[in-house]
Amino acid sequence: MTILITGANGQVGQCFRQLAATYPDWQFVFADIDEVDITNGKAVFSFFKNLDRAGLQWCINCAAYTAVDKAESEPLLARRINVNGARYLAEACAARGIPVVHLSTDYVYHNRQNTPFVETDAVSPKSVYARTKLAGDRAVLRANPQAMVIRTSWVYSPFGANFVKTMLRLGTERSELKVVFDQIGTPTYAPDLAAAILSIIKQSEKTSFSGIWHYSNEGVTSWYDFARAIFEIRGIDCRVRPIVTAEYPTPAARPPFSVLNKAKIKDAFGLEIPHWRESLQQCLALLP
């Protein structure tokens, strides 16, 4: 098995780098911007052509423009990466009969629904980031009949910048923090997501995988409760005050409710998904 990981220096990409050692019979090719600019169609096809001898069998696209607020002022760049880049990868894979796993976001669902979203629920993106990710999902599914789009939420890991690491830093710098309590969702530990994807690939010959799927950790929380859990587990003496979203305005609108129903992916692939708090404890044990 030979698998290409794009966006290999991002949070999920680096988790695949770690997991690669536990799959000694599989070959992994890790690529980021230095190896291939996915916004350049010719560069993508040239890169894939150079990989033909490697017998590539899967592509997992972790590359994305994820600076949610900055995207409001850089819509063209966000579109080039999240839409064009995703489509070029899917097309290059389709030309070789290679399946592609494309990572997406809960932000495409942004409405007043208050029950966990299933894959067939209506989408209503409200930000540049959300609109470009949705357009990327659709482009990938159109370009490659063997495309698996996995929508996830609130991703964090020991790598890169994320909410957990920000809270650890601010919690040691300040005696009090204000965190929104009216945005509800589920944190996703990137190593869990990466492991689930590799488990799915193992089973791909037995189970249909194309289409849209959901993955996050189990459980439901708010950003406020997530922050409190971080401080509690780490023993950080920082008071967290709950505030409403209107008290913390941002350039990009955030969904008020982002809980994803994962029954489809659990039933199809027999996945046992950890609760978000269990995975948070694992992550915090790895962080200084």
**Span between the terminal Cα atoms of the chain, in Å:** 35
pLDDT single digits (tens) 29-86:
999 999 999 999 999 999 999 998 889 999 999 999 999 999 999 999 999 999 999 9
pLDDT single digits (tens) 2-20:
999 999 999 999 999 999 9
Q: Which of 49, 50, 77, 52 is nearest to 65 (CA)?
A: 77
Whether the predicted pLDDT of 266 surpasses 80: yes
- Return the pLDDT at 208: 86
Report helix, strand and coil shares of the chain as percent, to nearest 5: 45, 20, 40
Q: Which of 65, 129, 189, 224 is catalytic?
A: 129
Cα–Cα distance between 144 and 87 in angstroms, integer? 9
- Return the pLDDT at 207: 79
Q: Does the active-site annotation cover 189?
A: no
The class (CATH top level) of 2-161+188-219+258-274 is: alpha beta
Beta carbons within 10 angstroms of residue 151's beta carbon: 25
* Mean pLDDT rounded to a whole number for the chain: 97
Whether the predicted pLDDT of 171 surpasses 90: yes
Residue 183 region by backbone torsions, left for phi larger than 0, else alpha for psi between -120 and 50, else beta? beta
What value does the mean pLDDT take over residues 188-199?
98
- Contacts with 243 (C-beta within 8 Å, 6 or more apart), sequence order: 178, 179, 180, 181, 224
Whether the predicted pLDDT of 205 surpasses 90: no
- Contacts with 59 (C-beta within 8 Å, 6 or more apart), sequence order: 3, 4, 6, 89, 93, 98, 99, 100, 101
Whether the predicted pLDDT of 206 surpasses 80: no
pLDDT single digits (tens) 218-247:
999 999 999 999 999 999 999 999 999 999
Cα–Cα distance between 38 and 216 in angstroms, integer? 26
Beta carbons within 10 angstroms of residue 170's beta carbon: 15
Q: Which of 229, 222, 228 is nearest to 248 (CA)?
A: 222
Global model pTM greater than 0.85: yes
- Return the pLDDT at 264: 97
| Residue ranges covered by each domain of the chain | 2-161+188-219+258-274
pLDDT single digits (tens) 105-164:
999 999 999 999 999 999 999 999 999 999 999 999 999 999 999 999 999 999 999 999
Cα–Cα distance between 198 and 182 in angstroms, integer? 34
Q: Is the dihedral of CA 134, 140, 143, 147 positive or negative?
A: negative
Cα–Cα distance between 120 and 241 in angstroms, integer? 36
